[in-house]
Structure 1
């Protein structure tokens, strides 16, 4: 069975007495890219982690289209600052396949293919810790996509990258969507959101103010906070 739809009803994440996000009601289904936006501290990262299942649910309900163990195996998450293991580029990319029980030779062969695909073929045997920020993000994407996840969560993957690296990452994301992966991604970059989004989830103070088609959000935002955000005003 498929991971989608993902349905959150009254879902809440908190640490001690502080609510990080929620309660939220949200359904993720269909194909394409959902962009999660909002001012700093709105709860974007917490929402992604909650939907992915790595932030503990402290209230409400979260349901996938399949059993929990199956859903976890069919998802991946790329963090804003990806973790590089003390291994070569190719061994980093191959790691998820090794965890899945694929033989080392087969995993490395597939990882080499991905390394070449993301422009790191010549660096395949280099230490991953020596890569630039943009190269690390491309490696993290390859490591997430090598198992062809049904759903991929990305937490501001281009936040610290220059224009060229951002363009390369966005090209990889477009290829992933074309191959059938559903993307749920946070970004603070309005231009990137306009380029990529099929739908937008707008967060403010831990709550979802709007969840709508991208064209509707950018042309006719409904809430005052969203209107200010789209204008480029400071939203507190």
Structure 2
């Protein structure tokens, strides 16, 4: 597998989230959420349905404005911060174009030469095992291949921060393993990853630390081993054991 030695810029970390709130139609969906992310990871966000996991990612990525509190990056202008982030959704949003064109289109907004765009595109296609499918219509790919393409497209942008919203949901074990391997490779290049997961097995395999949300509240932020093997609260213990939470 080809190696990359790029250093993403600017250095955004640490990310400081303070007293974050979000309301919709007068209903609180996130309440007083505070945490800090520095180098390390990946960090997995877990919790029952409706806990606010995906919402938290969208707020951190700037897709939604918070109702209160703050989300602060350590460095860079607003434009630099925006360009240094990428997000991959549970259901990839792909253009009605070839696999290659999906990546090149994402790069077209960057002030890169055509040769550099082609170089980056070929590199991420090879890293994600999609080079042989480069000219195929992205819409006819399997679910696992589409998610690999979404990751390749984000990777080509060389982000400093990557948000992943349940990237292996609905995938079979083989496709899940392929996607997890790509995420590990991205992580190994120094990209900070914040990932929503519903799979505690995946959390054990992938995460350096865990954010546990319940009913819009941050219940725990701790290392993975402590979260899974030595829960500090009854609520955390109940979640890890698979008991119903209300």
Q: TM-score range by the shorter chain?
A: over 0.9
Q: CA deviation at 1:189?
A: 0.3
- Tell me, yes or no, if structure 1 residue 223 matches structure 2 residue 206: no
Q: Which runs of 5+ in 1 are unaligned?
A: none
Distance (Å, rounded) in 1 between the aligned partners of 2:141 and 2:134? 11
Is contact 2:41–2:208 with CA below 8 Å preserved after alignment? yes
The match for 2:184 among 174, 192, 199 is 174
Q: How many residues align?
A: 236
Q: CA deviation at 1:94?
A: 1.8
Q: CA deviation at 1:105?
A: 4.4
Q: CA deviation at 1:116?
A: 2.4
Q: TM-score, normalised by structure 1?
A: 0.96
Distance (Å, rounded) in 2 between the aligned partners of 1:14 and 1:95? 35
Cα shift readout 1:4-34 (whole Å, capped 9, x = no counterpart): 1111111112222122222211111122210
Is contact 1:13–1:55 with CA below 8 Å preserved after alignment? no
1:43-82 equivalent positions in 2, closer than 5 A: 43-66=52-75, 67-82=77-92
Cα shift readout 1:127-161 (whole Å, capped 9, x = no counterpart): 11111110010000000011221110000000110
Is contact 1:95–1:143 with CA below 8 Å preserved after alignment? no
Distance (Å, rounded) in 2 between the aligned partners of 1:173 and 1:136? 14
Q: TM-score, normalised by structure 2?
A: 0.92
Equivalence for 1:4: 13
Superposition misfits of 4+ residues, deviation over 3 angstroms: 103-106
Equivalence for 2:169: 159
Distance (Å, rounded) in 1 between the aligned partners of 2:122 and 2:11? 29
Cα shift readout 1:108-134 (whole Å, capped 9, x = no counterpart): 342123222212112111111111110
Q: Secondary structure at the match of 2:124?
A: helix
